[in-house]
Structure 1
Amino acid sequence: MKLFHYYDKRYGPLKSLSNLSLDEANQVINKIKKESPNSFCAKRDEAYMENRFHLEELLKEDFIKKGGKVEISHPNYFVVEEVKWLEEWFINPAHIEIDIKDLDMNYISFTYGDSYPTFSNKVLDNKEYRKKVYTYSEILQMIDKYGYPNIWNNDGKHGPERYIEAQVWTNKGIHV
């Protein structure tokens, strides 16, 4: 299994709005809205960062309850396997690719779909993977059961889950 992290070459990999204060993150989003009004980030609402901070805390708490380990306050975000359309989010797209075997599984949580809609109160379809965080062995069971969303829902016509997200709660093993 490979993990992919997509980013804009202008800013470099593993830059997270979550590592900024709420005001700083909103300033960055507003700058992106002006510079790239058609980008995915420009479509985010005013409450996005407040909601994201809250959702990340839920992810972290649930992962720790399952025995997961956390070394950093906010995760490094990856997706499971290649999802080419994510390059469309960036003006100068690039990605890093890591074999999951090169990472300590105790520091990786997963959501079946992007964590934001997965934990959002706006998605109310009662699918079993909503509001759930998974360990490596658990996400393998979900993949066996449902497959990879980036295969069966690449265009997003069947719901918000378009990939499996991996949250890496350490910087160890991530070489860029």
Structure 2
Amino acid sequence: MGRLDLHHYYERDLGPFRNLSDLPAAEAEAVQQRLRERGDVFASQRSPDYLSIRRGLEQRARALFADKGGRPVRERPHYMTLGACPWLLDWYRRGQELTIGLDRFDPAAISFTYGDLFPAMRLAGQRPYWGQVYTLDEIRAVIEEHGLPQEWNADGAGGPERYIEAQIWDDAPLAGHLAMTAQAQV
């Protein structure tokens, strides 16, 4: 596996690393409802129970990662992809991509799923790499065996795994980017 960076996709006007899971449940649901009503971004298609399912999956991923020796600092992760996935730009009205070197992250504070956390954890057992989170060393072995979904499934015809998701469990390596987001909210 060659050098892979982490990529984050977001709405340009709002800034990076805005996470519904960081909001209180009622506030997150209000934001999600506004997105549904607007109907012009990928997130507008989410089901009414999306946020409760997501919070449960995030708790499970955090626990599985900690069981493997991971040291998550955050209760909920920030999301990135391992390797570029330009398709994700289409999720936003004015999509933006941010690239950060993987070497800037402590391996003990980053987990991975082969595919987006949502289907990867919900469809456990349907594919050998679903239903679990991986450490950096483990995901390298999975890539050696199965390849990068961005390469073999760029159009999504092979299933929901179109990228490897990285769950970032610490704000420290993202501090400068999080400050940009805070300024955009003012």
- Which residue in the other structure is 2:181 paired with? none
* Deviates further, 61-70 or 22-31: 22-31
Report the Cα distance in structure 1 between the residues aligned to 2:173 and 2:42, rounded to whole angstroms. 29
**CA deviation after TM superposition for structure 1 residue 32, in Å:** 1.2
Structure 1 runs of 4+ with >3 Å offset: none
- Which residue in the other structure is 2:142 paired with? 142
| Match 1:45 to one of 44, 47, 54 | 47
**CA deviation after TM superposition for structure 1 residue 9, in Å:** 1.3
Q: 1:111 to 1:144 in 2, by over 3 A?
A: same
Report the Cα distance in structure 2 between the residues aligned to 1:89 and 1:106, rounded to whole angstroms. 29
- Which residue in the other structure is 1:31 paired with? 34
Query: What SS is found at the alignment partner of 2:173?
Result: coil
Q: Write the mapping of 1:116-131 to structure 2, written as runs, cut at 5 A.
A: 116-120=118-122, 123=123, 126-131=126-131
What number of residue pairs does the alignment pair up? 173
Report the Cα distance in structure 2 between the residues aligned to 1:169 and 1:41, rounded to whole angstroms. 22
**CA deviation after TM superposition for structure 1 residue 85, in Å:** 1.0
Cα RMSD between the aligned structures? 1.1
- Which residue in the other structure is 1:14 paired with? 17
Query: What SS is found at the alignment partner of 1:96?
Result: strand
* Greater helix proportion: 2
Report the Cα distance in structure 2 between the residues aligned to 1:167 and 1:76, rounded to whole angstroms. 6
**CA deviation after TM superposition for structure 1 residue 103, in Å:** 1.2
Deviations 1:4-47 (A, max 9, x none): 01000121100000001221111111111222x14211110000
* 2:112 corresponds to 1:113: no
Deviations 1:89-125 (A, max 9, x none): 11111121111011111100000000100111xx366
Decide whether the 8 Å contact of 2:115 with 2:165 is kept in 1.
yes
- Unpaired segments of 5 or more residues in structure 2? 178-186
- Which residue in the other structure is 1:85 paired with? 87
- Unpaired segments of 5 or more residues in structure 1? none
Taking structure 1 as the reference length, the TM-score comes to 0.95
Percentage identity across aligned positions?
35
- Which residue in the other structure is 1:72 paired with? 74
**CA deviation after TM superposition for structure 1 residue 126, in Å:** 2.2
Taking structure 2 as the reference length, the TM-score comes to 0.90
